[in-house]
Amino acid sequence: MPLSNEMLGKVLDEEGKLATHVDMLIYGKSKSGRTYRASTAPNPYLITADPTGHKSIPYAIPGRVVSSITQVREDLEEFKKGGHGFDSLILDGLSFMHDLYVKEVGQYFVAQFGAKDEDMISIGARGKILKTYKELLSLAISLTDLPNKEDRVHVICTTDEERVKESEDAPFSIRPHFGTKSMNQEYPKLFSIIAYIKPTATLNDDGTIDESRKMLFAEYEGIQAGDRLKMFPSFCDEAPNLSEYLT
């Protein structure tokens, strides 16, 4: 096989912004501003399984609220075809998407194999959920590296946080929540950038509440975060506008 001379690694544009399309996960507590922060990505399209998360965005952006995994996959396939006209794709509420999977696969096993209840499906069925859910995330992330560079998008995902009980075996006390314990351990490896966000919850001198958000891009005191591309500061006193970093 001939050697390739393709340039690898991150690429910056003339303004110093990252020209490479990135995959990124933003996680934190409910109402911490995950969806709003993701929506600051360049020219975004939003797919949300969270029925209320999108209401936190104070301006209208294109997208839809999905009620089935089929709808999510339909939109991802359209992005894969190209010609969509967007620069970023937001998958909002990954833990909600997991719940859609559990519901759909559970209903299938109830109908086809006589399972007593959607919540009492077999280990094999749960394995299928794990596999197909990971395939969905992998399909989304692959949109950052499509053959036609004009069709590539930044993929920004959001999800809840999971607080792990104290354990010597647990590498993190706070980590992203994807749906199950095994998912929460394995799926962070899929992402190049993992950012933890939380409100400051402090009072200003005039007695008003400081509504800014802090974002962490590096592992710190048991909080899972990381930036393989080294494009963000390790810690931001104020959550950044993603369009200032992404082209």
For residues 171 and 223, what is the distance between their CA atoms, to the nearest angstrom?
A: 9
Please provide the average confidence, as pLDDT, over all residues in the chain: 83
Domain assignment present for residue 13? The answer is: no
Q: Is the pLDDT of residue 74 over 90?
A: yes
List the CATH number of the domain containing 94. 3.40.50
Q: Is the pLDDT of residue 68 over 60?
A: yes
Considering 41-45, 106-110, 219-223, the range whose residues carry the highest mean pLDDT is 41-45
HEC assignment per residue over the chain: CCCCCCCCCCCECCCCCECCCCEEEEEECCCCCHHHHHCCCCCEEEEECCCCHHHHCCCCCCEEECCCHHHHHHHHHHHHHCCCCCCEEEEECHHHHHHHHHHHHHHHHHHHHCCCCHHHCCHHHHHHHHHHHHHHHHHHHHHHHCCCHHHCCEEEEEEEEEECCCCCCCCCCEEEECCCHHHHHHHHHHCCEEEEEEECCEECCCCCEECCEEEECCCECCECCEECCCCCCCEECCCCCHHHCEC
Domain assignment present for residue 124? The answer is: yes
CB atoms inside a 10 Å sphere around CB 100: 19
The residue range of the domain holding 66 is: 23-244
Domain assignment present for residue 215? The answer is: yes
Q: pLDDT tens digits, residue range 96-152? A: 888 887 777 666 555 554 555 445 556 666 666 677 788 889 999 999 999 898 999
For residues 90 and 54, what is the distance between their CA atoms, to the nearest angstrom?
A: 11
CB atoms inside a 10 Å sphere around CB 17: 15
Structure pTM? 0.85
Domain assignment present for residue 6? The answer is: no
Domain assignment present for residue 37? The answer is: yes
The pLDDT > 90 percentage for the chain reads 46
Q: Are 215 and 236 in contact (CB under 8 A)?
A: yes
Domain assignment present for residue 180? The answer is: yes
**Count of domains observed in the chain:** 1
Q: Is the pLDDT of residue 234 over 70?
A: yes
Span 142-170, average pLDDT: 88
Q: Which of the two residues, 65 and 133, has the higher pLDDT score?
A: 65
For residues 10 and 153, what is the distance between their CA atoms, to the nearest angstrom?
A: 15
Q: Is the pLDDT of residue 20 over 90?
A: no
Domain assignment present for residue 206? The answer is: yes
**Residue 133: predicted pLDDT:** 82
Domain assignment present for residue 10? The answer is: no
**Residue 217: predicted pLDDT:** 96
Span 30-58, average pLDDT: 87
